Amino acid sequence: MVTACAVIAAYNEEDHIAEVVVGTARHASPVIVVDDGSTDATAARAASGGAIVIRHDRNLGKGAAIRTGLAHATDQPCSHVLFLDADMQHDPAEIPKLLAAAARGGGDFVIAEREFARQAMPPARYYSNVIGSRILSWFIGSAVADTQCGFRLIRRDLLRRVTLTGRGYEIETEMLIKLARTGAQIERVKVARLEYQGVRSHIRPFRDTFRTCMLAVRYRYLTGRS
């Protein structure tokens, strides 16, 4: 039986976090929100939605927030840990797709793949996602079309076997490469197209893609198995 707890890293997401928490809680429990030094009402609104809220006194980066959340999630009585973003770019209503894939035995690591529609995305974001995913697929030895998607479901016991060190968005790459090296089976699940209109992004496409690829070399060849 697949049971999941959820980890959501949040930074100044007061507009959406309560909706994300409530939607996620229908499919995962507990929902752990790490407020990464927000200066708005993110923490209060996450708590009002029913989340367990852990606060960083200052902004440390998405990777640091995820690692803080994992320190609590890996001790929960669940089979998997669910990750999704706090800004509604990942629809909580699609969580059952990931849970169903895990229940079928289709993957230790279930990653959502968004539809990349060239006409609906800023060009820099489109090409950085496509090129970066092709390069990282080569590193992990498995075709993944959306390697940077933070919407993912991973077996809790596998997460306890790896040591994650990323402090920023590179945590997505580190997690993927290190878990692939443990032999984790990766399953891809299609989700709805990402809408960019009015969405604020913290990612710098070309710079972050280049940095991610360089870090992939380190994670794949220059570090130990954990």
Question: pLDDT tens, 20-46?
Answer: 999 999 999 999 999 999 999 999 999
Write the DSSP symbol of residue 94: G
Neighbouring residues of 61: CB distance < 8 A, sequence distance ≥ 6? 36, 167, 168, 169
Q: Where are the domains of the chain?
A: 4-222
Least confident of 17-21, 59-63, 91-95, 172-176: 172-176
Quick check: 99 pLDDT over 70? Answer: yes
For residue 141, with 0-12 CB atoms within 10 Å meaning exposed, 13-18 middle and 19 or more buried, which class applies?
Answer: exposed
Residue 116, pLDDT score: 56
With contact defined as beta carbons under 8 Å apart, do 160 and 79 qualify?
no
Neighbouring residues of 57: CB distance < 8 A, sequence distance ≥ 6? 37
pLDDT digit string, tens, across residues 181-213: 888 888 989 998 555 444 555 555 556 666 666
For residue 97, with 0-12 CB atoms within 10 Å meaning exposed, 13-18 middle and 19 or more buried, which class applies?
Answer: middle
Contacts by residues 138-141 (CB-CB < 8 Å, ≥ 24 positions apart): 139/177, 139/216, 139/217, 139/220, 140/176, 140/177, 140/180, 140/186, 140/220, 141/180
Q: In the CATH scheme, what is the homologous superfamily, with its name and number, of domain 4-222?
A: Spore Coat Polysaccharide Biosynthesis Protein SpsA; Chain A (3.90.550.10)
Mean pLDDT computed over every residue of the chain: 83
